[in-house]
Every structure is written in structure tokens, then in C-alpha cells.
Amino acid sequence: MTPDAPVSALTVPTESPSIAVLDYGIGNLRSAEKALQHVGAQAFLTADATQIAAADAVVLPGVGAFGRCREALAASGLDTVALDAVASGRPFLGICVGMQLLYDDSDETPGVAGLGVLPGTVRRLPAGVKHPQMQWNQLDMVTESPLLAGLGERPWVYFVHSFAAELTQDTIATCDYGGTVTAAAQRENVVATQFHPEKSGAVGLDILRNFVGIVARRRAVDVVGAP
């Protein structure tokens, strides 16, 4: 099977984890799908609730405005599917606006509720710097996480955003952009990156490879009860 071939959640090989990338019609969702395939996952772009429920893990990407993405997610019915996936305990990855959607709300679109998976509000980036941050920047690790393991000291990743989640106890990495900005977060089975790992070169692929490893270990626990 070629990397570009469509993959059904019902036919994924048992030797590599299946990862559903939520297809709610926003931006270039296939870039995340292809990057995950590149690091060994059976990733597939889908809006089918049955396929998503059968996957080993779920990814919620997103680009653009918080309100528009939230509206599209609701219109597709994938907001409920995403919450079900989180509640199931399966690994779940949010990317860029997909990360922001996991929070309670955003200053970008007042009055529009996020998914409320991660407590906190998405705030506008500090004044005095260019908006959006559209550049490579270095990560500063706040706490150890398997998602960011083995990346070396202050790795470079690629950002495109004007808003970011406020600093909370879930923050696992930050960057410096006119102040300290949340770059990645984790709570239980949910991990999220404000930067784009699929656009961050070798470091980004290592992050996605780490996520696939998390998924594989979780599946081993589910299948054989391994510690």
C-alpha cells in the first residue's frame, strides 16, 4: 500500500496502530494524515463515527479561526465523536486550532464554547510582537512527557498562530514570543501542540513518532494487559 492510498479503519493491519484524523472540512487535514503514515501509523482521514470509534487513537487538527473551526466541528457532528474518543481513554492529539478547541473558550470568538477537555481560555498573543507568530521557535520543556521525549535541548518547531492557551497545570512546553506562551499541553490521555509537528521537519516527525509509540503501548495494554 502506498503512503497516499486511502486506509479503512476496518482493514488496518494489527502490526501498526490505527489513527483516525478527524475530517471536518477545515484546512489541509491531509498533511497530518500523511506525516503520521510516514512515521509508521495506519492513519486515515475520516468523518465516519464507526471508523473513529474503532481506531486506536484520534487526531484533531485545525487551522484558521477558533469560531469557524468550532462551527465546522459541530456541523459535522464530530464534536461529540471527539468527546467520546477522549472519554474512551484512547490517545488523543490536538494540533494548532485543534489544540485550542480542546479548551473552554477563546478570546478570538467570545461567546463560543470550546470542547472543555482542557480547563482554561485561549488568549491573544502578547502585544509588541507580530501577529500571527509565523516562524520557527524553540520549545522550553516544563515537565517530562512521552510526547516530547528525546528531542534534545530546546528543539525548533514551526508555529502559525495569533492565539494560544493560557499557562495552566496542563502546560508541558512553552516558547518565548513576547512572553511565555503555551506550546504544548497534556492531561491524562490527551496531548496537544500549538505548533505544527507535521510542518516541523525531523523534530516534528519525532514528536509524531512518539505519539505513535504512545498509541502502540496503549493498544498493548488493551489487547494483552501488558504493564
46 touches 61 (CB < 8 A): no
73 touches 38 (CB < 8 A): no
Q: Catalytic: 108?
A: no
Least Cα distance to 200 among 117, 135, 122, 108 occurs for 135
| Distance separating alpha carbons of residues 151 and 147, to the nearest angstrom | 10
Query: Annotated catalytic residue: which of 33, 69, 175, 196?
Result: 196
Supply 159's cell numbers: 508555529
Query: Annotated catalytic residue: which of 96, 144, 161, 166?
Result: 96
32 touches 95 (CB < 8 A): yes
Query: Annotated catalytic residue: which of 33, 69, 175, 198?
Result: 198
Q: Catalytic: 96?
A: yes
Q: Catalytic: 198?
A: yes
| Distance separating alpha carbons of residues 86 and 150, to the nearest angstrom | 26
The identity of residue 92, as a single letter, is F
Q: Which residues are catalytic?
A: 96, 196, 198
